[in-house]
């Protein structure tokens, strides 16, 4: 039996997409007959001066031999787990430390252009160049992540898209009177664009917001101020079963994050045969959404996004279904068997 160690950086008290993805990967490796375990080290990026010290803890890990056995493969995931040392290291890159790359100096990035933060950034770039350069292969969860890796580090990455949790359970129902946003209510997700677009829409479309986050109170106040509170349902946290039904009964998904790594919402919506409205700078969703084919792609501005809402809600159900089915065709290849095959091909 071949043995595989999945390496995961764990922020204390945080369970998000990366943590779920590690669990899913481990489960499917085990299902395929690999002896699998997770190596996890706590990591947090606050204050920024601690980042380098914490990252170097991964460099001290030597996984060449554990309990008298040699692991056949290690699969690091996000920063800084790929600093681990092993002769056969195949990284599935969720993302790098974006504050040191595309978010550096931005309103949502934690690193500023001050001298101390610039030094932290240089150190992260240096560590990434060495550690990722050691990898036998680098796969990324999206083309967007691969493009960043090429742009900033001049390293190649092969997109290998992860399926959402319970992918086989997504299904299509009717094409209802609401758009669905599913995800965290944080600034980088730009849920406010959905509210502002809804306010300018000439249709009577509704919006259902499934998720929690630090901006929930602000978004509720914004909906009131825009006069659309009666057309917006803030659902908070919803169960997996409820989320499946929300996708099944919506007319489409509204998802306009800023330069998203991947974006499960797009894939989940397409698996439910529902179109997606997204933005020209959304990142990962643009790998799948084609304007007027399986959704709408508009500038990240309320007016053009409102036009997209109006166009979607003016279509016949037959045409909306056709768009959703085209989205489904474009995501049908995303399976766990394909992920496991690619990550483990060097030891099989």
How many angstroms separate the CA atoms of 341 and 305, rounded? 39
Residue 21 lies in a domain: yes
What percent of the chain shows pLDDT beyond 70?
A: 99
Residue 344 lies in a domain: no
Residue-number span of the structural domain to which 49 is assigned: 3-160
Same domain assignment for residues 193 and 65: no
Same domain assignment for residues 223 and 299: yes
Residue 342 lies in a domain: no
Residue 186 lies in a domain: yes
Residue 341 lies in a domain: no
How many angstroms separate the CA atoms of 29 and 38, rounded? 11
How many angstroms separate the CA atoms of 108 and 115, rounded? 19
Same domain assignment for residues 267 and 246: yes
61-65, 179-183, 219-223: least confident range: 61-65
94-103, 106-115, 158-167: least confident range: 106-115
With beta carbons less than 8 A apart as the criterion, state whether 22 and 6 touch: yes
Strand order in the sheet with 206-210: 232-236, 206-210, 178-182, 252-254, 276-279, 295-298
CATH code (residue 148): 3.40.50.2000
How many angstroms separate the CA atoms of 111 and 120, rounded? 8
Same domain assignment for residues 191 and 261: yes
pLDDT at residue 344 above 90? yes
pLDDT for residue 120: 87
pLDDT, average across residues 195-208: 97
Give the pLDDT band of residue 302 (cuts 50, 70, 90): very high
12-21, 73-82, 126-135, 260-269: least confident range: 12-21
Same domain assignment for residues 200 and 131: no
How many angstroms separate the CA atoms of 144 and 262, rounded? 7
pLDDT for residue 69: 78
291-329 exposure pattern, b = at least 16 Cβ within 10 A, e = fewer: eeebbbbbebebebbbbbbeebbebeeeebbbbbebbbe
Same domain assignment for residues 179 and 139: no
pLDDT at residue 98 above 70? yes
pLDDT tens digits for range 260-279? 999 999 999 999 999 999 99
Q: What is the mean pLDDT of the chain?
A: 94
SS3 113: coil
* H helical segments located in 69-190: 115-133, 143-153
pLDDT for residue 66: 64
With beta carbons less than 8 A apart as the criterion, state whether 88 and 74 touch: yes
Owner of token pair 């669905």: 180
> Which of residues 160, 175, 206 is at a domain's end?
160
Same domain assignment for residues 183 and 244: yes
With beta carbons less than 8 A apart as the criterion, state whether 277 and 295 touch: yes
pLDDT tens digits for range 43-55? 887 888 889 998 9
pLDDT at residue 315 above 90? yes
pLDDT at residue 324 above 90? yes
Residue 340 lies in a domain: no
pLDDT tens digits for range 218-240? 999 999 999 999 999 999 999 99
pLDDT for residue 20: 87
How many angstroms separate the CA atoms of 321 and 85, rounded? 49
Sort residue 124 into left (φ over 0), alpha (ψ -120 to 50) or beta.
alpha
Per the structure, how many domains does the chain have?
A: 2
Residue 337 lies in a domain: no
Residue 233 lies in a domain: yes
CB-based burial label for 205 (10 Å; 0-12, 13-18, 19+): buried
Same domain assignment for residues 125 and 186: no
> Which of residues 133, 160, 187 is at a domain's end?
160
Same domain assignment for residues 155 and 171: no
Same domain assignment for residues 18 and 62: yes
pLDDT at residue 142 above 80? yes
pLDDT for residue 320: 98
Same domain assignment for residues 200 and 312: yes
Same domain assignment for residues 220 and 96: no
93-97, 177-181, 206-210, 247-251: least confident range: 93-97
> Which of residues 135, 160, 185 is at a domain's end?
160
Phi and psi dihedrals of 131, rounded to 5?
-70, -45
pLDDT for residue 17: 78
How many angstroms separate the CA atoms of 30 and 181, rounded? 33
């Amino acid at each position: 039996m071949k043995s595989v160690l999945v390496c995961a950086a764990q922020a204390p008290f945080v369970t998000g997409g990366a943590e779920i993805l590690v669990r899913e990967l481990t489960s499917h490796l085990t299902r395929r007959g690999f002896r699998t375990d997770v190596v996890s080290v706590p990591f947090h990026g606050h204050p920024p001066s601690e980042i380098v010290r914490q990252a170097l803890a991964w460099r001290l890990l030597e996984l060449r031999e554990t309990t008298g056995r040699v692991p056949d493969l290690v699969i690091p995931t996000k920063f800084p787990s790929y600093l681990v040392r092993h002769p056969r290291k195949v990284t599935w890159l969720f993302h790098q430390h974006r504050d040191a790359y595309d978010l550096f100096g931005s309103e949502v990035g934690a690193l500023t252009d001050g001298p101390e933060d610039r030094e932290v950034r240089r150190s992260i770039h240096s560590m990434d160049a060495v550690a990722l350069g050691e990898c036998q292969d680098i796969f990324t969860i999206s083309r967007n992540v691969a493009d960043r890796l090429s742009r900033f580090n001049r390293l190649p990455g092969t997109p290998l898209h992860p399926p959402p949790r319970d992918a086989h359970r997504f299904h299509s129902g009717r094409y209802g009177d609401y758009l669905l946003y599913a995800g965290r209510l944080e600034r980088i997700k730009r849920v406010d664009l959905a509210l502002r677009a809804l306010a300018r829409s000439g249709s009577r479309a509704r919006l259902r917001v499934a998720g929690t986050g630090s901006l929930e109170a602000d978004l509720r106040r914004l909906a009131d101020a825009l006069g659309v509170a009666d057309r917006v349902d803030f659902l908070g946290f919803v169960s997996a079963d409820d989320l499946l039904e929300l996708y099944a009964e919506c007319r489409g998904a509204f998802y306009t994050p800023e330069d998203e790594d991947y974006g499960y919402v797009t894939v989940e919506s397409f698996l439910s045969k529902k179109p997606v409205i997204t933005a020209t700078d959304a990142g990962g969703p643009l790998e799948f959404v084609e304007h007027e084919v399986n959704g709408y792609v508009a500038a990240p501005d309320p007016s053009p996004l409102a036009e997209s809402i109006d166009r979607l809600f003016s279509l016949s159900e037959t045409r909306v279904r056709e768009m959703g089915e085209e989205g489904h065709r474009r995501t049908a290849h995303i399976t766990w068997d394909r992920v496991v095959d690619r990550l483990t091909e060097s030891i099989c």
